[in-house]
Structure 1
């Protein structure tokens, strides 16, 4: 009931049975379909087209397409008159997909295929394909958000790095040793920030494309967390971080965990930095079993801040969700969830008994079923 992707004409069925069968098949299409006759009258509209256009088939079938299905481009030009399918070039067989404005002012993606008579090229049928533009527009907005966020986050540290390096190169002798040290420390900090941002962006790409690879080895979580907390205390930035073992871990010990060490370091670095930035010190990291005899390791990261509102707890792990202050890229917690789930675990957020937010990471003991050893 139309033309194939290669442009060859498909003969329309003529018998009532064939027409009914073709109509039934058209209802199975994922896209909207409107069939317009050579006289400009709409012959058929499938359910998906009715949904996209928000019109009943009775409002369109047996009516002129120009009236029942008004379409215009972004400049307000009538699409039917612009394309002129009835008196335009007889060699034209299709129109590529375009974003048009539909009857109710909503954006809709439109394609057209022409079925012409052999010999004189007269239009016999016109197949108008319709797609809901919301998904594409949402993807475009997300892409714009990515570009805007990345540009903003890259600009600030790059400005600092280029400014300080330029000053040091041109006026080295004018600065004291203390000033030089401060400037170099700032350059190092901003360079590390850039590295983390680029790493997060690469991880998002891998997570979204299911191409993230893990190098699994036995990991001593207590040793890993103790090393991270120790490095933080040496730097003495952002407030105090405490590490403790929960009661079940003290009594029964911890089961063996197989994981990617670098990825877990990234997970807990992001969670602790998030707690220090958005909560309040001290931040307490508790390592325990999820149950006294269970095979799941539990890591709790508690802060003393204002906490996270219940209605926002499902949003914080979303990509580019930045909260009311907009102080971060909104990438860190999205990456945390992706990396934890890649290990076969889970992460959630709730309130802790002392006030503030509690992020709970649960990791299965042994080799996670969700991944395979290299």
Structure 2
């Protein structure tokens, strides 16, 4: 008997730890509204401790009401309604202090089909966090609309002009306009790619396909592209150790990381852009430095947020590049930081592990 009691306590303790690990709030009641458990997130959101809530009626401890002041639990009515009902959709509710939470519920029946409600699992989300997310999405829509307008206006204008007055232009004039259309179409493609990356990063759906990647060779490729675009070759300095380990990474994503960091150094920095690659105990570290104004320490935590563009007059871009870089690095199991470079500019340093092939 003593062993069974001990086992029961261990199971109860494990269950408590499990629900406390959930990122969202969780309140569990019986079918009559008596509170059985409250996880850590729910206690934080509602400011009601488990000690105050467990064993009491939910209307005493969590008197949720809708915008019209109606009692949520009374409207929920677990004992009434269709016996096939198992889920209650999420909706905004208020506690007496005016705090807004998004609340949904699941009715646990026994038997599962048509049985009585044994427990109600109530999920809570922070209304403030939801509002911030909605503002972020609104900012994203606004930014996308702004960034798309310029290249699409250019494409439309030049295309309409060429169609209407083709015979009036020389071959050289046509080539210039078509080059402009091609460049602006590339801008639109890059923007769409960024948006897809943001979506995959935020939803956790970013896939990494590993292969052997020669990082110094990828850096030289990025530099060659910038030189072909008009940057002087002597503006770049590449240094790397000779004992770099074999790296299994997603080559396209490595190119994207390096390209964004180099472009950021060119756009916001000055002087020489230095890229150094070194071996560390568990992988490889790549640093990209410029000789510009640098980033103030208090801003270091903000640079990887969406829409961050700093104080540079040469703003440009969507402000999504560094957010995407951080997501791509972390998808490889790596880390990235920004700090002041020895020359006074900004230094972005990321480290990626040696990893293993996908088929290993």
TM-score (norm 1): 0.67
Equivalent residues of 2:48, 2:61 under 8 A apart: no
Q: Quick one: distance in 2 between partners of 1:210 and 1:62? A: 41
Structure 2 residue aligned with 1:316: 303
Q: In structure 2, the residue corresponding to 1:73 is in which secondary structure?
A: coil
Aligned match for 1:271, one of 261, 267, 270: 261
Q: Quick one: distance in 1 between partners of 2:69 and 2:235? A: 67
Equivalent residues of 1:27, 1:47 under 8 A apart: no
Give the superposition deviation at 1:270: 0.8
Q: In structure 2, the residue corresponding to 1:299 is in which secondary structure?
A: strand
Matched, 1:347 2:336: yes
Structure 2 residue aligned with 1:159: 153
Structure 2 residue aligned with 1:201: 195
RMSD in angstroms over aligned alpha carbons? 4.5
Moved more, 169-178 or 265-274: 169-178
Q: Quick one: distance in 1 between partners of 2:252 and 2:317? A: 22
Q: Output aligned runs, 1:1-374, within 5 Å.
A: 30-32=25-27, 44=35, 47=38, 51-54=44-47, 65=59, 71-74=64-67, 77-80=68-71, 91=81, 96-111=89-104, 129=122, 131-134=124-127, 135-175=129-169, 179-207=173-201, 208-219=203-214, 221-236=215-230, 242-246=235-239, 249=241, 252=242, 254-280=244-270, 282-290=271-279, 296-323=283-310, 327-364=316-353, 368-369=354-355, 372-373=358-359
Q: Quick one: distance in 2 between partners of 1:205 and 1:285? A: 31
Q: Quick one: distance in 1 between partners of 2:174 and 2:338? A: 42
Gaps of 5+ in 2: 1-11, 20-24, 109-116
Equivalent residues of 1:349, 1:357 under 8 A apart: yes
Distance 1:193 1:58, change over 3 A: same
Distance 1:103 1:327, change over 3 A: farther
Equivalent residues of 1:96, 1:112 under 8 A apart: yes
The C-alpha deviation readout for 1:301-348, integer Å capped at 9, x for no partner, is 222221112122233223444445674323212222333344454432
The C-alpha deviation readout for 1:192-245, integer Å capped at 9, x for no partner, is 2222222233333444434413241342x33332333233223215x7663334
Q: Quick one: distance in 2 between partners of 1:112 and 1:348? A: 40
Gaps of 5+ in 1: 1-21, 116-123
Q: Quick one: distance in 1 between partners of 2:104 and 2:357? A: 42
TM-score (norm 2): 0.69
Between Structure 1 and Structure 2, how many residues are aligned? 328
Q: Quick one: distance in 1 between partners of 2:346 and 2:72? A: 60
